[in-house]
Structure 1
């Protein structure tokens, strides 16, 4: 463990750098997650700070540095440590865990305590928390980088990080001086440089050096390692050198400005210094996940949940039919050049089309673009063509040689790049050979695939016969894992490499209850697993297949199941899951995920694209719902003692009218009658009337004659109990049960001790919903529920019984909830609902409902 931060002085020809460094260790054992891939824009967009995240595999939180406990959040989920050099580290266990109010957490320190690296900070209940929040992914952030002029560097690491291996360096007070004479030599070679990076030049540093080299198209830039050389403008060539820790290398530059280029590359190399204080001479560790194997049972890490019983088959990938030789080399060269140029344009277009929120997908495509434009790879293919080979054979062969070169390094960090190479290979070969000559592995029976790793495109192209995936490499937050979860395919990663020797045998893959691939199950184990799989598959199949059907109760009452969404991708999934429309589009993400307010054009495009996806179905857009617990960086807000009762929702919008008008204009310009505008946090009629006036003025200004409805959210008790008065004026109402519950119960959802009392099935909350329904029905005003309550199966019969016929829920819950509604009887639901109103506590309501429906 680190005892004191080192003070380094790195000297090169004309370059002197001095700085203090602090090394951080992982606070948890778990799967490393790039901050950009965290499914919460507050962290992914680095609004709080910069660093990394971990998906926990253990429930004990340790201090990553020496320092002092600066603060502990009252909900116990977040701890801030002040380092010995004065900067702050925030550890935030899970996403949206503040809503648990401290339940499931046990703090082991107090504010002001002095801690050492590795000291236990807290313990938490993984099972309890994971069932109640979006994810247990834990961001670890330096929160005052800009203020203290710090910089960070993530160290090379395995997929599953260990507590005893450094994960990040924080550089403090860095000073760089460059003072060299411009060389007039046309060719210049640097002095020997000892590579300081603990894991040598792997993918990330290679990409950094490559980016510098490509700025100088007229220069030849080569890295020399003994008798070997690698083109710095080619990531593949650079990686193939397999430059390791403390290897002696030189940089050779030909052309004008050679000295400046050498100095720039040398400085970049020195800045890549990794400090492993435990063992500075350690060899780079393997990136392979050597999971346990016990009696034929392979243990791994769950990347996508599910269960499957099928034949285990080795993944062979995509193959193409083509001739090896070609008579006209010039024609073949033209074909290759034409295809690569069109694919470059295609990739660039795809990258530009992605929003700033699609960071993971953008990184994948950017890596593919770098490979496609790799000069070494292209040159090798062209050389083969000039020797009489066909373009497809040449490209396939050149890619294969590059993969072999990476594999030969024995460095798993480099070997992982093969999946990107193979994905690009397949794109080029598809263009050269045509889809008709693309031979995809086909299966006549259900299979569980096993491979070193998978590419995203392989997962996208999987047939329905593939019931499970197993891989030696891979991570739970990779693009492959995300795609597997989207498709509902169980995926086990980090399995021992011996699994690659298994083939053509019946196995059981269980990522639902365990994290095991059973390669030699007994007959009894097979029977039990088959029964469990059949039951679950039947439930999901029936729900999904019938998801497009109306959710009509057994006595003929139709309930509309809509979706709560935050982006266009969720809209697409909602459409496929049978949503009757969108009952809540949370527009605040557009505002929270940007350093400046989204433009009218950006908003108009977003609303229009989602509306097009929905195909004319109801689309309710909630205007900016910020303030309180959602701070917008570019909106000035004064300090409030109780922000949840302060300037939030409609109050914030009316206080920032130009921002509000921009959003309303973008919505109105869609001119779509299926679109409805919903105003959050209305508490009195005067607020609605003020919004209505602005709304009508903008319609006149834009010459909008389309009947776009204007409604409100019912989140404040004053509206619930005056619903009849509101129902006379508004076009529709939607109950936001999350806020309504905390306001009815007078309990802050974020309060450490009291948050557990916030239960939307409390009879008082049910009474507020019932009162709202009575007022709405009296004036025939459309009413829905869009809070979390609408997603909870146990609550649905109560809502239906209270007269709610529009339920807006999480996207994934739609098929099963629609199927559940079809089993209900409306008259019986009314009896159940009114009985619940007579019960004294939420606990008794839940017990009663469980007895009725379990």
Structure 2
């Protein structure tokens, strides 16, 4: 609940613009000891995603989910700007309610502030307020309503008299943890009051934990004072929380409809007490938004409701709250609807059904937000009994998934089904439930600590350590504690807290961050398993391929790599932590292969190809023999490739093709050289910018780039200029929220909006590549991302040329080239125009593929179809190479296709001059080049170009 003290409020603030005001808000939170300085970046990043303007001159800035780690204590600081500040969405703001939230408390605070929006004059009054007490009074309002839902109803109770009926209602509230034992005594000592129409009321005030209202109706006819008893309302009174409920009961009595209650089911009782008449049409709609029905989707709902031309009301289906006008923004927000909860819409009149259909359709579509379907089996981890099982996979037939970790495995499968966690939704003793949850969290943390010790450092230990931090997150526990106080069991409250946080993570535009929801659920299942005393079955002692719905990072870390030959999951993506760990542990993995893989019988033999992203159950003897031969050849090839890793990369007939490494960290350049890389073909410089809370200055960048150039010792460095945007935002460079950030302001488009940033980066690269005394030049290749045509290249070229003139030759690189990445199809189509002016091309096949095929390469259902060997992509590469060679320029490929064993000869046959791959793949790609000659490569390229689909390309190449 939002409670403001005078020391929480700063009066008379001034700021020339919203950025300065937000800086002041961040500083106020830090000075109060609520946050670390880095929380400031989260405030700015949140504004870059969407405005936090609430209404009536109030904004509620708060951090992103990622910035919660910088919150020490949940709290609020209010800044008053009497002169006002123009917010970045054009609204005028007089008060910032700055929130340091470790969970989703800002949604509760927002609901408590919505009453302010009903008063159009509040903005002026806040601006003119002369004391902190006055500001607090305008903003603070405790909203408490008595509980009434299906569980507080006690219908058809076998009571012998009204006294038993009253005590039945009191006992129900006691069972739900709303009241203590003293309440029962209090009720027993009181006299029932007649309400009319056969209904009676009794109330108690002692030992009330949660204000609530129970209704008990008799199983058989009862009489009191010669009148039929239809039911007894038992009220646990606390302050004014029950006022709204009593007013609705009186309205029901006035209408004469109260007589309907005794013979009605729970849904009808709740509907009548909510104010819905028997003649109203109703519809149910489930909230799918990750953050529930907060301001933005609520506003969309209100607008759609207003368009229908007749009154529409809405309430929470599972509660007994009053139905409110769907046209009132503040009342809709105050419902506090969370993801997964159902709303009941009601309307009367000739067009009521059509209006309700339109509103419910809008809710199902997400009310302007991207939403995920609600799967009860996953949200509650209890599989639905009536769901039809998926069709089994056919024997000896390839089944496609997503390649997550390279390698080939042949072994029987061990199918690990997601455990079923059965638990009660509600529990009576909040203190005991809180103790159980504390104990389970402590035990889970101890398990993770033990696993971390066994991991003995490295990436596995780092991720397990991160899981332990997640588990210790006080806001996860606080969210669960609030659920327990509302009457939920420890299990139900904990999983709701986990799901809320996980869904918020899944809605992030950055797929890499969104897939971290798997980490949260992994942590959640660990605690839930302890609470429910459910343990996973032990795998066999013999080698096996693990098949499961999804696997958490801690499960991967526990795998015995001596027995686990491969990993196959129904869900998940190639950038999830579990996939990252599989690669780190050298376990071949195919993920996102669909629910059909869960139908595999335990012990069934399986061929798992982690490079092609496919599996073959129950292979024929011939197919198995082929796979065994491939496996033996691969092992031999890996050993030979490592021994020959320092040899110059050439085809069998001596045709030269450079093999370089892709890097995200300059410190990894030493490792790349040790693995035989002939240079760096792609340095992703955005990771340098992401690693700093503020934009890295010239000296910082020079030092970073120089570290890579020193390690390369004269080998070329291809550095991509800053490639960020709506899909990869920087906290200190907020960009407007975009419906499709992959097609928005990113790459060179973004940096050209702030040419001083690009200029500093180019200057740093040039200075870092300056050769030391009496040393050979350091080859520097700079490439521009997301170039669509020559105009963008010329704008950057002008900056580079000016810097080359300004910086003395002795203080900068002398061997410099400026090129572009071919990742936008228009750049490939315009390659002849570009080739006349650029120094080189580097084809980013990852983006080029997704833009050409209109498939998000991280899409959970379509990613397997985003294949760079699609003939359309190959034709664009062919056009690019032809244009470049016609002007004497070279072409590299730096996407994942460059390390695809089937694609390497095709790319060479198309005329590609350089292949840049992950450092780990360098020896294998060099070895692959030695297996064919140029003439054979050209034949394979022609064969690939002649096919109609990527599947046909791969089939044709595999036959050869």
TM-score range, shorter chain: 0.3 to 0.5
Higher strand share: 1
Structure showing greater Rg = 2
- Looking at secondary structure, tell me which structure has more helix per residue: 2
* TM-score, normalised relative to structure 1: 0.45
Higher relative contact order (CA 8 A, sep 6+): 1
Normalization by structure 2: what TM-score?
0.41
